[in-house]
């Protein structure tokens, strides 16, 4: 655990931790409710169905959705309609063609072959759990940047197991550091200042390339897997690279969708992807996106 001799800047973030602690379960409720309401949106008894399914009153569910998005339910789930998603794909492609994009604040440094080979003997990974406005996460870092960040739905044992699978034989230490803090602060959209977030990722050159393309998709934008690939023959491999993204939210794989207009699959669940798509659509409409990019609100 962190001691009194650790960096003062980490200790000063206790207020951020306290702020995030209140979000422990709300985003999970909101995500599941949005997906259920979208699937049953035309049903006269949608409120009753969702309420029974989730064990909460429809009034409470709708209030949680409004408190998070600052919009009523109906104005949220419309962003999951297939026609709406296809329109946003088209707008995103037009935006990418016509707008010079600034560099993403998320900077990826690949782990070198020497670092990978020396993993079992030398690499030490620090990890911690944190509550964020988007739910509970595990975040891990090497000495050069964040190497893993995943939604963990408060299942800490499973989260650590997944981290061990990604870095077998590595020494894991539950401890906070500045790389983790700079990444977690980006979840606070209202106060994130666009500072650089350092990632240090173990991946192939192709995977790194696909993730860097994702970082060029503006918040509020969506892109198809085939457009992200560039060439049809790379579509499958690109889809696999997107699906293997080790850094949730910060590398925005939730912005990659099927050409059909459906929201598609997501490593951390369809419901979370649906909620993230709605959140970014409401916060960052592309028509007002001329000076924003990536995580910057």
Annotated active-site positions, please?
Answer: 253
Tell me whether strands 171-174 and 146-151 are parallel, antiparallel or unpaired.
Answer: unpaired
In angstroms, the CA 81 to CA 145 distance is 37
Residue 175, phi-psi category: left (phi > 0), alpha (psi -120 to 50), beta (remainder) = beta
Give, to the nearest 10 degrees, the angle between helix 26-39 and helix 270-283.
90
Cβ contacts of 211 within 8 Å, gap of 6 or more: 108, 201, 203, 241, 245, 247, 251, 253
Burial class from Cβ neighbours inside 10 Å (0-12, 13-18, 19+) for residue 296 reads middle
CA dihedral defined by 254, 258, 262, 264, rounded to 10 degrees? -50
- Supply angle C-alpha 207, 209, 212, rounded to 5: 110
Give, to the nearest 10 degrees, the angle between helix 205-214 and helix 235-243.
80
DSSP 237: H
């Amino acid at each position: 655990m962190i001691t009194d001799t650790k960096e003062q800047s980490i200790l000063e973030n206790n207020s951020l931790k306290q702020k995030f602690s209140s979000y422990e379960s709300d985003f999970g409720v909101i995500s599941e409710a949005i997906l259920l309401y979208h699937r049953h949106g035309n049903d006269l008894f949608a409120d009753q169905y969702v309420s029974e399914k989730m064990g909460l009153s429809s009034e409470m569910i709708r209030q949680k959705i409004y408190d998070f998005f600052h919009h009523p339910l109906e104005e949220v789930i419309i962003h999951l309609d297939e026609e709406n998603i296809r329109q946003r794909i088209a707008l995103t492609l037009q935006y990418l063609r016509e707008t010079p994009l600034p560099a993403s604040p998320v900077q990826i440094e690949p782990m070198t072959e020497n670092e990978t080979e020396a993993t079992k003997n030398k690499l030490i990974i620090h990890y911690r759990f944190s509550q964020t406005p988007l739910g509970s996460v595990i975040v891990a870092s090497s000495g050069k940047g964040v190497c893993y960040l995943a939604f963990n739905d408060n299942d800490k044992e499973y989260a650590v197991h997944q981290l061990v699978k990604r870095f077998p034989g590595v020494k894991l230490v539950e401890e906070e550091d500045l790389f983790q803090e700079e990444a977690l602060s980006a979840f606070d959209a209202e106060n994130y200042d666009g500072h650089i977030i350092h990632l240090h990722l173990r991946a192939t050159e192709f995977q790194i390339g696909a993730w860097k393309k994702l970082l060029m998709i503006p918040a509020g934008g969506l892109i198809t897997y085939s457009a992200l690939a560039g060439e049809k023959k790379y579509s499958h491999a690109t889809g696999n690279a997107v699906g293997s993204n080790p850094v949730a939210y910060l590398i925005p794989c939730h912005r990659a969708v099927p050409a059909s207009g459906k929201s598609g699959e997501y490593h951390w669940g369809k419901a979370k992807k649906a909620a993230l798509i709605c959140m970014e659509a409401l916060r960052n409409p592309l028509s007002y996106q001329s000076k924003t990019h990536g995580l910057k609100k």
